[in-house]
Structure 1
Amino acid sequence: MKQIIDFVPLLLFFITYKIEPTTVAIAGFSLGVGGIFSATAVLIASSVVIYGFLFVHQRRLEKNQWLTLAACLLFGGLTLGLHSETILKWKAPVLNWLFALAFFASHFVGDRPLIQRMMGHAVRLPAAQWSQLNVAWILFFLVCGFANLFVAFVYPAIWVDFKVFGSLGLTLLFMAGQALYLVRHMQPEPEES
């Protein structure tokens, strides 16, 4: 459910981006709707509302949610402030690479790889498989970052479509591969005497 909630701002960004740019008068104010800049404003506002709601409801946000919110505010704010969509195009690659860095650093900081810290309560694997799975996540985030960067600057006409649906498709494929890997290597629960 949390993953679906995390996609709501991105979905609202996509819908707003696809609206034909127009100006709407509301209470005597002119408001531009549609296109990259209003979509960025919607992304920022919806992220603040959704993560704010989650924070109030759960009394905390996960580290990846804080990082996502911070990247949204930083890159989105700079995009609007400098009126440059190029800045927003760097958000997904940088965020993916930061996640890759976190997974990489977990091999050297702490007693377990990051993926084991995240999933160890639900899945039992030998230590070597946790390390392999962690490396797979590092590679996944690196590939996603480079794929987003490539599409954003080589195929800018489909960048938003790829950002929403291509990234989601890559994630679902990776998760399916991870599920197959986990099923193959899971250890049975120890029997209680």
Structure 2
Amino acid sequence: MKQLLEFFPIILFFIAYKLYDIYVATATVIVATIIQVVITWLKYRKVEKMQWITLILLVVMGGATIYLQNEQFIKWKLSIIEWLFGLAFLGSQFFGEKTFIERIMSANLDLPKVIWKRLNLMWALFFISVGFINLYVMFRFNTDDWVNFKTFGVPALMVLFIGLQMIYLYRYVPDNKE
């Protein structure tokens, strides 16, 4: 249910874009994200900081897209969000006792401190790289291609990255044959 809730705005964005245009899709994703945050709050009584930041940035950049009738603002939002995630992961290397990835995954995985730091750095570089890949797509391809990249390409990159990460972590997973 939680994963469906996370993809709810992007699915509606894609459908609205295909049926109408980037401006209707932008308005749709703003409303859907507001609904997503409200549902998250009602269900869990907590909304993560990055979810708030994403919503605020979406309202600002999406609002500028609609008001100024300039699709570049909504396209830039993806890079800015990815870079913020990357910087947050990178910053956690230096602040606090645990890195972001360790805070997220340590309940399910026991790793040496150095591996947590490497893993966290990989996530930081992944997010920063996706931000730059988005710039490449938005400046080199048309809006249809960018929407497809945002809807399918970014999640595919995430799945690929997680798969590679799992291969990397496999040697650190304890063998339960005992």
The bucket for the TM-score relative to the shorter chain is over 0.9
Report the alpha carbon displacement of residue 92 of structure 1 after superposing the two structures with TM.
0.4
- CA change 1:101–1:57 in 2 (3 A) is same
Whether the 8 Å CA contact 1:10–1:43 is kept in 2: the answer is yes
Structure-1 separation of matches of 2:81 and 2:56:
10
2:6 corresponding residue in structure 1 = 6
Structure-2 separation of matches of 1:90 and 1:42:
17
> What is the count of residue pairs matched by the alignment?
176
Please say which of residues 76-85 and 127-136 is displaced more in the overlay: 76-85
Counterpart of 2:91, as a letter, is A
Structure ranking higher in helix proportion: 2
Q: Deviations over 1:87-113 (max 9, x none)?
A: 111000000000000001001110111
1:160 corresponding residue in structure 2 = 147
Whether the 8 Å CA contact 1:125–1:187 is kept in 2: the answer is no
Whether the 8 Å CA contact 1:14–1:39 is kept in 2: the answer is yes
Write out aligned runs for 1:152-191 (5 A). 152-157=138-143, 158-187=145-174
Report the alpha carbon displacement of residue 139 of structure 1 after superposing the two structures with TM.
1.0
- CA change 1:129–1:187 in 2 (3 A) is farther
1:23 corresponding residue in structure 2 = none
Counterpart of 1:135, as a letter, is L
Structure-1 separation of matches of 2:174 and 2:96:
23
Aligned: 1:67 with 2:53: yes
Q: Deviations over 1:7-50 (max 9, x none)?
A: 1101100111011xxxxxxxxxxxxxx10101101000111111
* SS of 2:4 mapped into structure 1: helix
Output the TM-score relative to the length of structure 2: 0.93
2:107 corresponding residue in structure 1 = 121
Structure-2 separation of matches of 1:2 and 1:70:
21
Aligned: 1:146 with 2:132: yes
- CA change 1:124–1:167 in 2 (3 A) is same
- Gap runs ≥5 in structure 1: 20-33
Report the alpha carbon displacement of residue 3 of structure 1 after superposing the two structures with TM.
3.3
Structure-2 separation of matches of 1:61 and 1:152:
30
Aligned: 1:17 with 2:3: no
Report the alpha carbon displacement of residue 121 of structure 1 after superposing the two structures with TM.
1.1
Structure ranking higher in strand proportion: 1
Structure-2 separation of matches of 1:184 and 1:64:
31
Larger Rg: 1
Report the alpha carbon displacement of residue 68 of structure 1 after superposing the two structures with TM.
1.8
Output the TM-score relative to the length of structure 1: 0.86
Structure-2 separation of matches of 1:66 and 1:180:
32
Structure-2 separation of matches of 1:3 and 1:74:
25
1:50 corresponding residue in structure 2 = 36
Write out aligned runs for 1:83-122 (5 A). 83-122=69-108
